[in-house]
Amino acid sequence: MHTFLHRFSAFYSAGSGFLSYHFLGLCGLIVLLSLGATAFGIAVGLAAALVSSNFSASSILERIPASALLLLVAYSGLFNDFRLSALILGAALVFTPVIAAIGERGSTSLLLHTARILVGWLPASIAASSLITLALRDASSAGLLLVLIYFHDLGLELCGDGRARRQFAPFVAIGGSLILLWTSVQLSVSPISPNQYWVFACLLSIAIVLGRLIMQLFTSRDGQQTSLLASHVVAAPLWTAAVVALNL
């Protein structure tokens, strides 16, 4: 059991060491969110493209297709229409193998090249599109999600030093986010009601864990950039869907 906890924590926390970048990014996004959802959305799309820029390829020219698809899908959230966003996402998925075939090189199989392009745009674009749509519908919920994820990643960073503490880092990180969520609900600074707390608490916990594990499995080029994005990948769409479903 001890060995399992240590291995899980090491895998879950991989790529930490980005705290200052995350903090500056969070502050910038919150400021833009206060100015307007459109400015926030544009910044989110650019940030997603920057963070995932080297997931698909090592050269700049090879990154362009993935970045273009990412921005296309991410900015579909500005229309505040889930059906339109889903349609654009489907079209991007269809055209990804076509783009991979055009840019295919003899040393790389078509399937592998397609997978690399998908990893380069799909996770980040879905998270960005969800955040943008959420900001248009409920800016406070979008801001709250960003802050909760930051405190989760802060917990990972603070508990990352030392073998004894690191094995409990995921639990401390998630626990810190849930305490912050509970506090925001009790102080009525959150659109979430006390009766809905456990729904969002469970959703946030599961989504962050899934997102980090998925990103660690499918990306290997830059652990630090992966970690910047990982906590948002599943949490952003699920949180947005819950907010919309519960009409917050």
Whether residue 186 is predicted with pLDDT greater than 80 in this model: the reply is yes
- How large is the average pLDDT for residues 141-164? 84
Q: Tens digit of pLDDT for each residue in 82-100?
A: 999 999 999 999 999 998 8
Q: What is the mean pLDDT of the chain?
A: 86
**What CA–CA distances, in Å, run from 176 to 172, 189, 192, 197, 201?**
6, 17, 18, 15, 11
Whether residue 21 is predicted with pLDDT greater than 90 in this model: the reply is no
The residue behind tokens 């948002």 is 232
Domain count, the chain: 1
More confident residue, 167 or 101: 101
Q: In 10 A of CB 247, how many CB atoms?
A: 7
C-beta of residue 211 within 8 angstroms of C-beta of residue 235: yes
Q: Tens digit of pLDDT for each residue in 122-152?
A: 999 999 999 999 999 999 999 999 999 999 9
Whether residue 55 is predicted with pLDDT greater than 80 in this model: the reply is no
Q: What integer pLDDT is reported at residue 176 of this predicted model?
A: 93
Range of the domain at 71: 2-245
CA separation for the pair 234, 241 (Å, rounded): 11
